[in-house]
Amino acid sequence: MTETTNTLRLTFLNSENKKSNLSFPDAAANLDKVAVKGAMDVISKEGVFEKEEVDLYKVPHSASYIERTVTTVFDDSKTTAGEQA
């Protein structure tokens, strides 16, 4: 069995000029640059995400879709201990 997931990862520079990420699993796959950049601009301007006096999402840096594929070789998780040989 193969399972593929998509995650939208938004990368910002924080107030210490280090990268901070926001990830959205199962985000819509058809978002364009204008929509994503606009949302990132709103997040950065609001300045509501702070940790230990560091603004985590100060400047939009980049956005990427991350596709992950997992192929199961076997899965005995549904087998109970009494059914195992």
Instruction: Say yes or no to pLDDT of 6 above 80.
Output: yes
Residue 7, token pair as written in the block: 């995650």
Please tell me the distance from the alpha carbon of residue 31 to that of residue 28, in angstroms, as a whole number.
6
Write down the pLDDT at residue 45. 94
Instruction: Say yes or no to pLDDT of 85 above 60.
Output: no
Write down the pLDDT at residue 47. 83
Decide if 19 contacts 60 (C-beta within 8 A): no
Report, as an integer, the average pLDDT of 31-39: 96
Report, as an integer, the average pLDDT of 39-53: 92
Report, as an integer, the average pLDDT of 39-67: 94
Decide if 40 contacts 12 (C-beta within 8 A): yes
Confidence of residue 33 (pLDDT cuts 50, 70, 90): very high
